Structure 1
Amino acid sequence: MTTERREPDRNADERTMLEGWLDYHRCTLARKCEGLTDEQVRTASVEPSVLSLMGLVRHMAEVERAWFRRVLVDDDAGWIYCSEADPDGEFRLTDADTWQEAQATWQAEIDIARRNAAGFALGDLSRGRSGSGGEPFSLRWIYTHMIEEYARHNGHADLIRERLDGATGD
């Protein structure tokens, strides 16, 4: 099954455009992982890196949670895979970690992100953790940052997928 992905309408209003591009990049990461075995999604990009497609999906679950729960609505949601002792824990996979769990957790965080964002206008300021200068973030800033975050990591996913099975494309 191929994840359906479409670019936002070229004449959409700003919010529809931002949400459309964010969903486009979410779908891009999902497509990069489709059709692979559990072993393949766990395969690290290149030694000594531990970066894998499963690690990227787990990372994006953490990022969705951080921005749309902790920052936007001041939800005291803890870490999923990370900890103070291991801030990059999402990338360190164990034999107990499964692709099914990683995918389900990521999708659940996306669903929560959409629900939380629906209660804000683009110019509304976050209620949670602020930037280093103490100022809150607008939803517009969060959307733009999330698009950048996914786009950057989708570049990583492109390279990992090509290494795994030669598949290329967007």
Structure 2
Amino acid sequence: MTWIAPPPPPFGGSLVADERTLLEGFLDWQRAVLVGKCTGLTGAELAQRSTPPSTLSLLGLLRHVTDVELEWFHQRFRGETVAFHYRRADAKDAAFDELDPAAAEQDHARLLAQWEDSRAVAATAALDDAFEDVLRGPMSLRAMYLHLIQEYARHNGHADLLRQRIDGETG
């Protein structure tokens, strides 16, 4: 039986809330939008590339943001050494370049598991907790949330175009 990407996990929350709840909620919303763009597609459809020479695909985006979450919550925020799921020193774009449509279900599940892990990392931290980012200098968890919201939002724009190219679906 062919795997079909399911709808995103439920998300939501009040838009009249404290800052932490709003930041977490907006990040969850952006996460759900990306996964929602994949709903109803097969692994082969998710692996369809945009336009040559680009290797951009919905499956590649899912794989990419899995590593982005790992990078930001564990490597940057916690200062841990991490083993990325897809990115390698010799292939920074492996998330896009080395797709296996047959592994789409596993890749999708890995992203959702990474979200849970990221939430757990941040759960005990304060928004003012800071770390030293090699590119930006001192950075707070608050700023990291804002960065990740914009990262997902940017990729969600890509996902809109990719989905429209696959089956014409928009919105």
Q: TM-score, normalised by structure 1?
A: 0.90
Match of 1:154 in 2: 156
Q: Which structure 1 segments of 5+ residues have no match? A: none
2:83 is aligned with 1:78 = yes
Aligned partners of 1:42 and 1:93 also within 8 Å: no
Deviation of 1:74 (Å): 1.7
2:122 is aligned with 1:120 = no
Match of 1:131 in 2: 134
Counterpart CA distance in 2 for 1:49 and 1:105 is: 24
Q: Which structure 2 segments of 5+ residues have no match? A: 1-5
Q: TM-score, normalised by structure 2?
A: 0.90
**How many residues matched?**
166
The amino acid that maps onto 1:73 is R
Identity %: 40
Counterpart CA distance in 2 for 1:32 and 1:40 is: 12
Instruction: Calculate the aligned-residue CA RMSD, in Å.
Output: 1.7
Counterpart CA distance in 2 for 1:164 and 1:138 is: 39
Match of 1:2 among 1, 7, 12: 7
Match of 2:111 in 1: 106
2:71 is aligned with 1:66 = yes
Q: Higher strand share goes to which structure?
A: 2
2:30 is aligned with 1:28 = no
1:30 alignment partner, SS class: helix
Deviation of 1:132 (Å): 2.9
Deviation of 1:96 (Å): 7.5
Counterpart CA distance in 2 for 1:48 and 1:116 is: 37
